[in-house]
Structure 1
């Protein structure tokens, strides 16, 4: 999700109503709900080519400029070089070293992940393993202590899992509740990237209002006196459905709550996310 042109012909964020706080555009910054602060964030990181998932996520989760280290943007899953970076610099590990705990990756994993561990693992999975933190599983989801990346569980239900359907309101309450238990809570959502690659306007117009409602419901329940919420992205994509690839746009980083002005001022590129979190929690 990047900061694209306000062009309803190619940007579903401009063509769909009631998308706060997602509907933000290049050089046109409207007030953010719940008094959030938006800072355009460089995902290109001084490296030619289109920003990609593996290197962008590694950068977010470690503070290391992964594309500069590789000399290119890396798509998909981290290679060995990036896995080594995450193993030594994962945000979860850095927090653990500073004795800032407990922390959680809120996303639930299905049994298939543990029955046949994939050869390629996501950057967030590697970051969690680096700190030897437990995975959230489907019993955690059933106990409302975790969310699937598809926060409604629709995709799990389609795969015949015996899982309840969550409304955006229910999912927001679950995520907000985790912030009351953990010092640092990370949640990852990537359906927007799938929509972008599919260039599917209908899917975007169906999904984006639910995602926006989920975010608003989460924000409505967070204690902003004691909690900071940071929303960011590893690259642009969905904001231009006229192309199938990622974009070169800045991504929005939005900060709410405690020390929001100080944290927003610190974020200029994706390399600044982990240092900002460490500063905030130290």
Structure 2
């Protein structure tokens, strides 16, 4: 790695786009999100606001359609983030939620996880999985989604209950309460929302590249009420408050992003073609944000921040795919 003191963390929220100003449709309008609003200003979550740059952070509206018709999907969107390649164009469609053989092949050809490891760095997926998940994958009853497939294809083990207990992972619900209530782990540690954010920041500082996957945002878009979606966003902001308070701005580049829109339009239960917010905090955040227009631009930013080689697939990456 060019500078072992530098590190990058992607805080990934599935299914979060930039929406309209109607509080009966967009839960962001009603949600109290003091930490993100303090970071970026009022109305940061609205479509049409354009790029935002403050002293500490930048927001780049990010195209998730990648010049393909139809509604963006998780498998191809997440693959684009982790490879810098236009996965929907390469496979001929937006595809998801789980990778099909064509998407899986792109992932296995190389992602940021593999590139960091090849350069001698450390990488980690900080999301843990319960034992029943591993059993379902092993039996063939469940397919890996794009992010865990990217990690395992790079040779990284997925984290489990023991990692959660030892503080080496953070639950997708942040607190870990769901492991007790729904998964049967009575001894699972329970964190406050700010403590969860602090834990993510502490873990991220131990790796050149790390990734936290928060998938319940997409679930909240597909299901539940507008009121529940508002509460969910407020919980995310509280967790991010802890992360932002603990983040090392001098060394760490934090990238908060998503794969497609959904939660910002609660009038239906489908994905949207809205741009997604990519928020950057840390060294050269404004310059990095200026280079992002669509999902394929995120991986090159990570490579530049870590001094990694450019993509091995220049003819298939970004808009040229």
TM normalised by structure 2 equals: 0.83
2:110 is the alignment partner of 1:93: no
The alpha-carbon deviation at position 19 of structure 1 amounts to 5.1
2:230 pairs, out of 183, 205, 227, with: 205
Q: 1:111 aligns with which of 131, 151, 170?
A: 131
Q: Per-residue CA shift, 1:137-195, capped at 9, x if unaligned?
A: 11111111111111112321212212132211110111010122111110010111111
Partner of 2:146: 123
| Gaps in structure 1 of 5+ consecutive residues | none
Partners of 1:30 and 1:7 in 2: CA distance: 21
Unpaired segments of 5 or more residues in structure 2?
A: 1-15, 38-43, 308-321
Large movers: runs of 4+ above 3 Å: 29-34
Report the 3-state secondary structure (helix = DSSP H, G, I; strand = E; otherwise coil) of the residue aligned with 1:240: coil
Higher relative contact order (CA 8 A, sep 6+): 2
Is the CA contact (8 Å cut-off) linking 2:261 and 2:273 kept in structure 1? yes
Instruction: Map Cα deviations across residues 93-123 of structure 1 (whole Å, 9 max, x no partner).
Output: 1222222x11110001111122332441110
Alignment of 1:222-237 (within 5 A): 222-237=247-262
Contact kept? 1:21, 1:32, Cα under 8 Å? no
Q: In structure 2, the residue corresponding to 1:165 is in which secondary structure?
A: coil
- Deviations 1:199-245 (Å, cap 9, x if unpaired)? 52121122111111111210110110011100010000010101110
Aligned counterpart, 1:270 = 295
Q: Does residue 184 of structure 1 match 2:209?
A: yes
Q: Following the alignment from structure 2 to structure 1, what is the Cα–Cα distance between the partners of residues 284 and 54? A: 17
Deviation at 1:29, TM superposition (A): 5.9
The aligned runs of 1:141-180 (5 Å cut-off) are 141-159=164-182, 160-162=184-186, 163-180=188-205
Cα displacement (A) at 1:32: 7.3
**Counterpart-to-counterpart distance in 2, 1:142 and 1:33:** 37
Residue number in structure 2 paired with 1:8: 23
Q: How far does residue 21 in structure 1 lie from its aligned partner after superposition?
A: 1.9
Shift of 1:86: 0.3
Aligned residues: 281
1:19 and 1:204 map into 2 onto residues whose CA distance is 16
Kept in 2: contact 1:45–1:67 (CA 8 A)? yes
Q: Which whole-Å CA distance do the structure 1 matches of 2:82 and 2:164 have between them?
A: 23
Residue aligning to 2:314: none
* 1-structure distance, mates of 2:73, 2:136: 26
